[in-house]
Chain A
Amino acid sequence: MWSLQNIADNFHGWLYDTFNPTIALLLEFAIVAVLVIGLFAMLGLVLIMMERKVSAWMQLRLGPNRVGPGGMFQTVADTLKLIVKEGMTPTNVDRFLFNLAPFIVMIVSMVILAPLMFAKGIQIWDINIGVLFITAVSSISVIGILMAGWASNNKYSLLGAMRSGAQIVSYELSAGLAIMTIVVLTGDLKISSIINAQADGWWLFKGHIPAIIAFIIFIIAVTAETNRAPFDLAEAESELTAGFHTEYSGMKFALFFLAEYVNVFIVCAIGATLFLGGWMPLHIGNWTGFNHVMDYIPSFVWFFGKTFFLIFVIMWFRWTFPRLRIDQLLNLEWKYLLPISMLNLLLTTVIVIMKWHF
C-alpha cells in the first residue's frame, strides 16, 4: 500500500546506495532541515489564517475576505509585507542579545520537533527519552523571551518577560505532571512506544477518569506555556503594548509571531500523541469492519486532524475567556492545577499497579 513510510524508506535506501554513509547522512540532515523550515512556513501561514477566521466566526464577524478566494492569501500578503520591512535595531539596546533572542525562540521550537511522529514511520529522531526531551527543551524558550525583554532596554518588555518567566516556570510543573500520567500508563518515554500502546484505544478512553483530568490540565497548562490568551500576560497588549517583543520589527518580530503559532502546533501535536494516539486510527473494540475502514484513512491525516482539532480548542479558549490577572494566574496554578494533578498522578499510579486500566 502507498504510504509516506515507503517513500521515506526507499529514498533513505537510495541515498545510502548512491553516496558514502557520511555524505548520505549530511544530505539527510540538509533535507530534514529544509522540510522543517518548510513546515514552519506553512504552519505560520495556515495557523494565522485559521486563527483570524475562527476569531471572526466566534465574534460574529467575517474575518479577512479580500485577498484571494475567501481571503485565503491574506497571510501570504502579510508575510511579503514583513519580509520587505526594515529590521530595525533601536539605539540603546544590547545589540548582540537583541538580535540573538528571536533565533533562540525559533531554534527551540525546531529542536522540539525532533522526536515527534508525524505519520507512521515518519519521525526525525526516535530517541528513547522522547517525552523527557520535549519537556526539557521546551523550558529553554523562556530564556529567549527573557533575553528579548532584557536586551530591549524597555520597561514594558522587561515586565512582559518577567511575567512570562514566572508563568512558564510555574505552568511547566502541571504540564509535566499531566505528561507523567501518560508515562505511568505506558511505562515508557519513547514516543513510538507510547503511540503503539494506543493501538487498541487512545489513552483518553483507556485511562479512565485520571486520563481525562490529565488531558484537561494539560490543555490548560500548555495554553499558559505558549503565552496565549487567557494567559497572555507576557504580551497583554492593553497593558504592555506587546510585552517582550515591543521593540522588535520586521522579520525579527515575524520570528516571534511565528514561534508562538509553531509552539501552539507543537504542544497540540504532543497532546495528540500522548492522549489521542498520534497517528493511530480510531479503533473501537472488536468492530472489525469499522476498524478496517478507519485503517484506510492515511496516518498523517489522523495525526494532523487530531492536532488541528486541539489547535481549534486552544483558539476556542482564546476567544472565549478574558485575560487573567497575574495573581489569579498564579493562584490557578499553585492552588488548583498543581494539587489536582499531583493527586491525579497518585490515582493513576494506583490504577496501574492494580491493573484496573484496559
Chain B
Amino acid sequence: MAFLKNYIKEVFGAVKSSLKGMKLTGYYALHHRKEKITQQYPDNKDKLVLPERFRGEVVLIHDENNEHACTGCTACELACPNGTIKIITKFDISPEGKKKKALDTFVYHLELCTMCNLCIVACPTDAIKMAQTFEHSVFDRNELTKVLNKPGSKIREGVE
C-alpha cells in the first residue's frame, strides 16, 4: 500500500514540477518583447549599455597628474596564467640617496589575454582595472602588444 501511495505521489509531483517549468518558459514566450536580453550590437552602437563588471581589457589607472599606483611589485605578472603581463622595473633614487624599485614599462599582450580578472584581484594597490572597451580588431598583430603606463607617468606620492 505504501508503494502505491509513493507511486501516486511521484506521478503528481512530476506533473506539478513539469507544469512549473512550463509556466516559466510560457511566460517568457508571451512576454519576450519585455524580457529579452539580447542586444543587437552593431545597430545599437551609440546607446550600448554594458554591465558594470564587463571585462574588456586591462588598463593602468592614471589620474589627472599623470600619476598611477603601480609599485612594480610584479604580483600581476605572477598571477597571470598565460604570461600576458611583463613588468620591467627600474630603480629610482630618492632625495635621501636611497634606491627604490619602481615601474619602468608595463607590457600587456592583449592577444594572449583571456580576461580572467586574476591580475586585478592580485594587485595590492588597485592600480589596474578592466576597461569596458571590446572592439580590439587590428590589422597588425604587433599593435596588440601594448605599453600601459603613459610616457612620463610616475608613481603617486604615498603609495607603497
Residues of A within 8 A of B (CB): 54, 56-62, 316-317, 319-321, 336, 340
Contact = CB atoms under 8 A, between A and B. Distances in A.
B53 interface: no
Given A60-B38, A316-B26, 13 more contacts: A54-B29, A56-B32, A58-B28, A60-B35, A60-B36, A60-B37, A61-B37, A61-B38, A316-B25, A316-B29, A317-B22, A321-B18, A340-B11
Contacts of B40: 62
Given A336-B11, A340-B11, A60 B32 contact: yes
Contacts of A58: 25, 28-29, 32
A247 B3 CA distance: 46
Contacts of A59: 28
A223 B123 CA distance: 54
A321 B15 CA distance: 12
Interface residues of B, number: 15
Nearest to A56: B32
Contacts of B21: 320-321
A320 B38 contact: no
A327 to B, nearest CB: 16
A54 B32 CA distance: 10
21 contacts: A54-B29, A57-B28, A57-B36, A58-B25, A58-B29, A58-B32, A60-B32, A60-B35, A60-B36, A61-B38, A62-B36, A62-B40, A316-B26, A316-B29, A317-B22, A320-B18, A320-B21, A321-B18, A321-B21, A336-B11, A340-B11
Contacts of B28: 57-60
A336 B40 CA distance: 45
A317 B18 CA distance: 9
